[in-house]
Amino acid sequence: MENEVDRLLSNSYAASLVYVSLVVLSLIVFLFVFELVTKYNCWSEIKKGNLAVAMATGGQNFRHLQYFPIFN
């Protein structure tokens, strides 16, 4: 199994696709969890124009991305 993964990730296009897919998937999971733990509905507050909620949600997204080695 390791040989197949190493061979796949040696291709720069495939490695980029894997990294982007992992980042997008983790952002979706993170936003879902963030929506569950907050007392308010983030997206309805953002649609109403609540800038503080928009900045908090966006800031948490950037904080979450620092854990990926591609962004370090």
Model confidence over 17-59: pLDDT tens digits? 888 888 888 888 888 888 888 888 888 888 999 999 888 888 8
Instruction: Give the DSSP letter of residue 50.
Output: -
d(CA 18, CA 14): 6
Cβ distance 64 to 27 under 8 Å? yes
Look at the pTM and tell me if it is higher than 0.75.
Answer: no
pLDDT surpasses 90 at 60: no
Alpha helices per DSSP H over 1-72: 2-10, 12-37, 42-47, 51-65
What pLDDT digit, counting tens, does each position of 7-17 carry? 877 888 888 88
Q: What is the pLDDT of residue 23?
A: 80
Domain boundaries, the chain: 25-72
pLDDT surpasses 90 at 67: no
Q: Is 66 helix (H, G, I), strand (E, B) or coil?
A: coil
